[in-house]
Amino acid sequence: MTDAYIFDAIRTPRGKGRKDGALHEVTSVSLSAQVLNGLKDRSNLDGLAVEDVIWGNATQVAEQGGCLARTAVLASELDEGIPGLSINRFCASGMEAVNLAANQVRAGAGGAYIAGGVEMMSRVAMGSDGAAIAVDPSVAFDSYFVPQGISADIIATEYGISRDDADAFAVESQKRAAKAWEEGRFAKSIHVVRDVNGLPILEHDEYMRPGTDMQSLGALKPSFKDMGETMPGFDKVAMLKYPHLAAINHVHHAGNSSGIVDGAAGVLVGSKEWGEAHGLKPRARIRATAKIGTDPTIMLTGPVPATEKILRESGMAISDIDLFEVNEAFSSVVLRFMQAFDVDHSKLNVNGGAIAMGHPLGASGAIIIGTLLDEMERADRETGLATLCVASGMGAATIIERV
């Protein structure tokens, strides 16, 4: 089997995900094409240099509908002979694109791929695709469907995570993200977004609130308490599934949950032989990939079993991992991961995460792989694990090691 390597990884700064955000006038296709062009230029890719573009996004409707990957290729400077594949594993779409590319390379199905994803949450509203898991009673009732915010609060209730725990984690995410930007830790991977005239319109993550403290978060009302306790009363649905819970402790709000943002990211994955032929040196080997299905009601626990699976299948232990990136969908998701594996916070999300900088659903999996790789190089660490929870009850993980 051929090994798969990462040669480059870039991302756009994350926009605010609102109509007043810097990226609102940029389409999903345009943002994707800019990332593809960035990878092409940085690695001097000519002609049919890559086998395919695998591109993830979670809300595949309107401008993100059809085969967005192929449209992005045609809108970019890549050769039109390169096809495109759009995929959807909700929040893990960008990671699944990278993992799929790696496994294609391993199997000998092409020398290299560009993989990643995009989500324009200011332009294509979350949930606008009318997903059956949420709206079809024949599915939603049987799976005890509740919105993700309720799921995050169930995790907090089940595993003893308090409001102060969740808020303290969010404050630290903001502090770490601000420090990372101040010290230029993202400089290697940031791809500035430009307008049609080539002028820069976004050079820095726009969502960050570096002044966040416990007092400001303490003033925020829980975001999911009303939908849980009154109409439509999702707490009752949860307690039908989990009768041992006397009540749901609603600890999450806008300040300790991931931000709704716009963004895109791409990763260049290929074999060592392909890299040698193109004069490129690999930065890391993709050692293992994994995905798993989990309980669809609590939904967001996937990083734990996905990590257990990837470690088991790769013959590794949690102590073999030097650095971790766990997507900050909600504070409780990451706190549960740390609790389950007794992982020290000094090794996890050391440059902040989606609570501070935002979670562009289809791009986040590729973003955290690139962030992990940059930090492994900066801190001279050898092995890293990236993982995400996934809507409807799934998890995904990737282990990379420097070469």
Q: Which residues are catalytic, by number?
A: 91, 359, 389
The CA-atom distances, in angstroms, between 73 and each of 150, 157, 350 are 38, 45, 34
Q: Which helix (H) or strand (E) holds 400?
A: strand 394-402
CA angle centred on 8, ends 366 and 379, rounded to 5° = 85
Query: What is the rounded distance in angstroms from the CA atom of residue 80 to the CA atom of residue 103?
Result: 24
DSSP for 204-256, written as a single string: S-SS--TT--HHHHHTSPPSSHHHHHSSS-HHHHHHHH-TT-SS------TTS
232: preceding bond cis by omega (within 30 degrees): yes
CB-count burial class (<10 Å; 0-12, 13-18, 19+) for 311? buried
Give the tokens for residue 272.
């060592």
Q: Which of 379, 13, 361 is nearest to 186 (CA)?
A: 13
DSSP string, 45-86: --SS-SSEEEEE-S--SGGG-S-HHHHHHHHSSS-TTS-EEE
SS3 of the chain: helix, strand, coil, percent, to 5: 40, 20, 45
Cβ count within 10 A of residue 41 = 11
Contact 14, 205 (CB under 8 A): yes
How many helices (DSSP H) and strands (DSSP E) are in the chain? 15, 11
The single-letter code of the amino acid at 314 is S
3-state secondary structure of 284: strand
**In this structure, what are the phi and psi dihedrals at residue 21, rounded to the nearest 5 degrees?**
-80, 155
Rounded CA separation 43/59 (Å): 30
Closest to 49 (Cα-Cα) out of 11, 8, 73, 79:
79
Radius of gyration of the chain (CA): 20
Dist CA 154 CA 163 (whole Å): 13
